[in-house]
Structure 1
Amino acid sequence: MVQIFERGTLYWSATTGAYPVNFSGGIGARYAAGGYERTYGFPVFAETAITGGAMQKFRTISGGYTAFYWTPAHHRTHTVWENGAIGGGVTQIFRTSTGAETVYTWSPSAGTHTLNGRGAIYAHWRNTGFTSVYGYPVSDEVHVGNGVYEVKFSLGKSIAWSSSSGVLVK
């Protein structure tokens, strides 16, 4: 069910409840352009601020999930199908016109976190099998001091990097 109000639109279903979709933003625009609830289903929660942008998740009639991620740095909305034939998305890479890359990761238990897509920490995580060795990131890639950057992972390990020491697994 859809209810249009003067300052917004609410979607309701028995499985997801009632949540708004902001059609004046990038996520709502992508939702509309792709076919609304017929394609993506109903919102699971309202558009939510995340590090570097916003996201909103939708549940399809078949029970799958679609997540939309929007970032002002890229002025684009990205779609992640979470229940496809090959499973849920582990990462989504965003590139700027300057060539910088930010990798967004998401998991149900850890939420959304960011890594430098051209950095040594992400390269090490990718080259060792993403989640198979370290699990999902549970922190963003952050500067922890003295030129050291670090990401903590769900299987209890951390990957750190500095220009003087290279990659270090803790």
Structure 2
Amino acid sequence: MGRRTRAALLLAAGLVGSLITGTSPAAADESVCGHVVRGEILDKYKELGGQNSPLGCPTTPEHTTPDGRGAYTHFQGGSIYWTASTGAHPVWGTIRDSWAGQGWERGKLGYPVGDELKNPDGQGVRQQFQGGTYYWHPTKSNGAHAVGGRIGQLWGQWGHEGGRFGYPVTGEYDAVKVGGNLSENTGVRQRFQNDRFLLWSAGQTSAFETCHSECVGYLGVTNQPWVKQTEVYTNLANGKRSVHVTPTEAGFKDADDDLQENWRQVWANTPLFPNATQTEINSVSKQLYCHAAFAFPKPGDGRFGGPTWDLETWRADIPWDSGEALRTQCNW
């Protein structure tokens, strides 16, 4: 083997080794505060202002990430992470703390794919990762929390942090009684401001009809005299929507005294289902009155109609008729 051939092979091996270990290419190495910063991490560091940026001085040299796909350098005020597909991005503050607590890049959020951005309210910030977007506000978010997946899509439809649900105040967590009344009806919840929640269920036949297959929904804790909470679900396959009201004991007894007030309490902390037609509103309000009027105690335990008043938007709008209500058991 000739000298040139051996040199070419060694050069190729060096390039492959660089790709495998995830080191960031581009700029030349530079010693800063006693540590070498290099490649695209150095480019991003300089772009942010170097030592005068929130990052300050580096506290480590560049390291390869445990998955072998990227590289990172820690600084006094945060870190910069890089991969060939995501580029180099700084992570700092409460978002970095939360991301680290979820396993850094090996967690479900993966690598950052953008820098931290200021939100339209001028106070909160967000940062996008491969598996979702972190949001933080100094007073409204109770720390930094990621929003993604189906819940993130639904939240986006309601206007993100500027919409009816505001900032997330927890991350996603597994829960029971999602999509149905039974403990076996499991799914995912995420809490937002003002005791409002976004919900997701893969679907179960024992759940509400709208959640027999994959569904998303939202819930508002009302704590009104007649209503504890209101849930709204949408089936992702067929678009069917339903409303599920959990009455208080006083609600079971008295909510039929004033339909208008009962309706107000149902929606006191829960947005009305979007793009509601007048026919849907008429049907749902009559179903609500029917359930309230006929919520008699059952022999043994429970009440007629069950623990929630289940109102389906696809039901026809029928004339007021107590006989029809009794015949159908409020499920016309």
TM-score (norm 1): 0.54
2:169 is equivalent to residue 138 of structure 1: yes
2:132 is equivalent to residue 102 of structure 1: yes
Identify the structure with the greater helix proportion. 2
* Of 199, 218, 228, the match for 1:169: 218
Name the SS of the counterpart of 1:123 in structure 2.
helix
Is the 2:175–2:187 contact (alpha carbons within 8 Å) kept by the matching residues of 1?
Answer: yes
User: Paired residue for 2:289?
Assistant: none
The one-letter amino acid paired with 2:175 is: V
User: Paired residue for 1:87?
Assistant: 122
Extract unaligned runs of 5+ from structure 2. 1-32, 57-75, 80-89, 177-184, 204-210, 220-332
Q: Alpha-carbon deviations, 1:84-110, whole Å to 9, x = none?
A: x87356543322xxxxx3222222122
How far apart, in 1, do the equivalents of 2:50 and 2:123 lie?
Answer: 21
Q: Alpha-carbon deviations, 1:7-35, whole Å to 9, x = none?
A: x8xxxxxxxxxxxxxx79x9898435533
The one-letter amino acid paired with 1:79 is: D
User: Paired residue for 2:48?
Assistant: 34
Runs of 4+ in 1 over 6 A off after TM superposition: 26-29, 67-70
Rg comparison, structure with higher value = 2
Q: Structure 1 residues 47 and 151, CA, compared in 2 at 3 Å: closer, same or farther?
A: same
Extract unaligned runs of 5+ from structure 1. 9-22, 49-53, 58-66, 96-100
- RMSD over aligned Cα atoms: 4.0
Q: How many residues align?
A: 128
Identify the structure with the greater strand proportion. 1
Asked which structure has the greater RCO (Cα within 8 Å, sep 6+), the reply is 1
Is the 1:150–1:158 contact (alpha carbons within 8 Å) kept by the matching residues of 2?
Answer: yes
Is the 1:103–1:114 contact (alpha carbons within 8 Å) kept by the matching residues of 2?
Answer: yes
- Note the 1:7-86 alignment, pairs <5 A: 30-32=44-46, 34-38=48-52, 40-41=53-54, 46-47=77-78, 55-57=91-93, 71-73=104-106, 74-76=110-112, 78-82=114-118
Name the SS of the counterpart of 1:92 in structure 2.
strand
The one-letter amino acid paired with 1:80 is: E
Q: Structure 1 residues 82 and 93, CA, compared in 2 at 3 Å: closer, same or farther?
A: closer
